[in-house]
Structure 1
Amino acid sequence: MENPQPNKKNKIPPFDALPLRAGDPYLSAWGLYGEDDELGALRRLDDERVLDAVRGEVRCGYRISLNWPLNAQTASKKSFFQRALFHHDVIHKAPRVVNDDIWTFNSQVSSQWDGLRHFAYQKEGRFYNGVTLEQIHGEGFEKGNTTRDGRSEILGIQAMAEQGIVGRGILLDFHSWRLAQDPPIPYDPFKTGSIPLKYLKATAEAQGTEIKFGDILLIRSGYMAAHNEMSEEELSALKDVMPPTFSGVEQSEEMLRWIWENFSAVAGDQPSFECWPTQQSYSLHEVLLAGWGMPIGELFDLEKLAAYCKKEKRWSFFVTSEVCNVPGGVASPPNILAIF
C-alpha cells in the first residue's frame, strides 16, 4: 500500500532517472540537493512531514526504546566484524562522594546508525556526493569544514545530529509474519540469505500498514529473537567466522526502487540490514549511503516494539532519534524512541 510513483510533493526524481548525471556511480543521486549536501535522503523529513507525523502518530504518549545495550556483546568477549567492545570504568572521585565514568567502544558495536562516512562505492572509491577517502582522512583538507583539532569533518555524523532523525516510523514484523504462514517460512538469520521484497510487501499488507513517503522503515527480521536464545559459546563460535554471514533484505533493483520511492532512512535488528556477504556485484550499503545519503540502522532491539504493535494492532508510530554530535564521526548509537 505504498505510494506507487513519486509525485511533485515528494520532490524526488523518478527511480528510472538514476544516476542523475552521466558518469556517476550506479543509481546515485549526487547533486540532487547541491554539491555540498551532507544530509541526503534525510531532507525528505522536512518540517511539514515531521509535524504530520506528530499529529498522526502521537496519541497516548507511550514510549519504547529501540536501543540494544551498549555492552550487549561483551559477555562473549567478541563482536561481529571484530569491532571494539564497550568498556566501562566507574571512577570514585575520592575523597568526595562523587562518581564519574568513562566509556570506550566502537560506535557500531551495538545499535547504530551508519553515517555517510562509513561505506563508499567500492569500485569508484567515492562516498556520498563524490567525497574521497583523502578528503575524509586529510588534515585541514577544506577550509571551513574541519574539526577544532584541524581534521576534516566532511560527511561527519554531526550533520545528522543538527535536527536528528525524526518522523513517522513503521515496523514491518517479517519475523511474526513468516511464522504465521502455513507452513512457516524457514529463515536463519546467521546464514547468508535474503528477505525478498514480496515478503516485506506481504507483511505490510497483513498488518494493514500504510506506507507514506518519507517514513523511517524498521524491519524485524528475527535476528534479535534468535540471538537472545543462543548461548554465549554459540555466539562466540559464530563471531569467529570471517567474513560473517547474515540474512537480510535482498539486493535487487526492485528493493532499491521501493526504498527510493518511499523512505528517508532504513533500519533492522540484524548486524548488516542487507544479506551479507552481498549476492550481487554491488551492495545496498553502496547505493543507500554513498549514492543517496540514506542512513542505515542496524542492531536495533525491536522485540518490545513488536510485542506492543501486535497488542495494539498498530505498526506505525513517531520516531525520535538523536545521534551523537561528534564532528567527523562515522556512525553513532541511535538514542531512539518509538512514541505512540
Structure 2
Amino acid sequence: MPPQNLPPFSALPLREGDPHHSAWGLYGENDELGFLNRLTDDIVLEAAKEIKSGVRVSLNWPLDAQGDIPFFGRQIFHQHVYQKPPRIIHDDVWTFNTQSSSQWDGLRHYGYQKEQVFYNGVTVQDISGENASKVNGIGAWSEKGIVGRGVLLDYHSWRIKKGLPFDAFQSASIPLSQLKEIAKEQGVEIKFGDILLLRVGWIDAYNSKSKSEKMVLTKASPPSFPGVEQSEEMLEWIWNNFSAVAGDHPSFECWPTQKEFALHEVLLGGWGCPIGELFDLEALADHCAKTGRYSFFVTSEVCNVPGGVASPPNILAIF
C-alpha cells in the first residue's frame, strides 16, 4: 500500500468494535503479514540503492549470549554436539527459546491483553487451543523476508554526548522529540517503509555486568528496561513511517509500560508490525559513526516455522 493510500492515524481503529488503534482488515481479513505489506517490490528496489560499498554488518547477538541466566525466565540455549561413528563426522542439536537472544516478535507473541485477541481477531484458542491452527505463524514472513531500507538512531551515543543520565536496567521513557532530534543530528531522512533500529546501549551495559550482577537483575519481577515512550505521538510516528521496528534492548518500549496499554499490543496485535529485540547494534553503530551513514540495506530471513511465535532474525546491514 503506497503511503498516499494509508488511512490517517486519526481513523484508527478502522472498524467499530475493534480494539483501540487497530487496523484490522486493512490488508485483508486473512492477512498474516501486517506492516510487511508495506515492503513492496518498488520500496525494496529503491532500498537496494543504499548498497554502495558492499560492507556487511551482522546484527545477530549470539544465540547463547545470555548464558544460563536469561531475562523473563526463558529457557537457555543448549547445543549438543555428537560424533556419528564409524564415520569421521559430527551433527549437533540446538534447543533454545526463540526469544532468548536476537529475535523478531511474531504475531502470535503479544495480543491485546484486555480483549484477549491477537492480530486480525485471532484468539488464544486459535493458537494454542485443542483445535489450534497455524494462523499468524511467523513462517508466513519467511516467503519474502524482512528486506528494505534500515535506519539507525543511535540514542546511546547521543545521550552520552548530551551528558544525560541513563540506567539500562531501570524503566525510562525515550520521548519522540529526542528520536527526532537524533535523526536530525545524524542527517537521517526517514522514508516510508523504513526498518527502524534503535540503539539504547543495553547490550553494551549488559556486557559490562558480572555474572552475579546479572543474576540479581534477572530475578527482578517485573524486570525494568528503558525504551520508547507509550504515547499517541509515538504510535502515529511509527504508523506514518515504518514497516518494522527493533532495538538492542529486551522490550523496544519502556518496560513495564507507563500507560494503561503496551505498545506491543498495538504494534503486534493491532497493526502486525514486527518488533525486533536484543539486536546487536554495536558494530553497526561503529560503522555508521565512522562513515557518517546511518541508512543502509537490511536483509532478514526469519526461520520458516509454520505456526512459529518468534524467530532469530538472521539479519545483515549492507552498506
Q: Calculate the TM-score normalised by the size of structure 1.
A: 0.92
Following the alignment from structure 2 to structure 1, what is the Cα–Cα distance between the partners of residues 298 and 170? 30
Pick the aligned partner of 2:113 from 112, 122, 128: 122
Pick the aligned partner of 2:84 from 76, 93, 97: 93
Partner-residue secondary structure (3-state), 1:180: helix
**Alignment of 1:153 onto 2:147:** no
Pick the aligned partner of 1:15 from 9, 13, 18: 9
Superposed, which structure 2 residues align to 1:205-216 within 5 Å? 205-216=184-195
Following the alignment from structure 2 to structure 1, what is the Cα–Cα distance between the partners of residues 185 and 211? 35
**Alignment of 1:49 onto 2:43:** yes
How far off is 1:8 after superposition?
A: 5.7
How far off is 1:9 after superposition?
A: 4.1
Following the alignment from structure 1 to structure 2, what is the Cα–Cα distance between the partners of residues 269 and 167? 19
1:41-64: CA deviation from partner (whole Å, max 9, x where unpaired): 110000000000002x00011000
Pick the aligned partner of 2:53 from 31, 53, 60: 60
Q: Calculate the TM-score normalised by the size of structure 2.
A: 0.98
What amino acid is aligned across from residue 68 of structure 1 in structure 2? W
Pick the aligned partner of 2:19 from 3, 25, 29: 25
Following the alignment from structure 1 to structure 2, what is the Cα–Cα distance between the partners of residues 116 and 319? 21
Instruction: Report the CA distance shift for 1:169/1:159 in structure 2 as closer, same or farther (over 3 A).
Output: same
Structure 1 unpaired stretches of 5+: 1-6, 142-150
- Over the residues paired in the alignment, what is the CA RMSD in angstroms? 1.1
Partner of 1:273: 252
How far off is 1:195 after superposition?
A: 0.8
Superposed, which structure 2 residues align to 1:1-340 within 5 Å? 9-55=3-49, 57-74=50-67, 77-139=68-130, 141=131, 152-181=133-162, 184-340=163-319
Identity %: 64
Following the alignment from structure 2 to structure 1, what is the Cα–Cα distance between the partners of residues 64 and 245? 23
* Deviation larger for 299-308 or 191-200: 191-200
Instruction: Report the CA distance shift for 1:59/1:274 in structure 2 as closer, same or farther (over 3 A).
Output: same
Following the alignment from structure 1 to structure 2, what is the Cα–Cα distance between the partners of residues 191 and 174? 16
1:226-283: CA deviation from partner (whole Å, max 9, x where unpaired): 1111111111110011111111111101000000000000000000111111010000
What amino acid is aligned across from residue 145 of structure 2 in structure 1? G
What amino acid is aligned across from residue 170 of structure 2 in structure 1? K
Instruction: Report the CA distance shift for 1:10/1:227 in structure 2 as closer, same or farther (over 3 A).
Output: farther
1:295-329: CA deviation from partner (whole Å, max 9, x where unpaired): 00000000000000000000000000000000100
Following the alignment from structure 1 to structure 2, what is the Cα–Cα distance between the partners of residues 222 and 231? 17
1:94-118: CA deviation from partner (whole Å, max 9, x where unpaired): 1110000000000000000000000
Structure 2 unpaired stretches of 5+: none
Contact 1:10 1:44 in 2 (8 A): no
Following the alignment from structure 1 to structure 2, what is the Cα–Cα distance between the partners of residues 10 and 119? 29
Aligned residues: 319
How far off is 1:138 after superposition?
A: 3.4
Instruction: Report the CA distance shift for 1:88/1:259 in structure 2 as closer, same or farther (over 3 A).
Output: same
Following the alignment from structure 1 to structure 2, what is the Cα–Cα distance between the partners of residues 200 and 112? 23
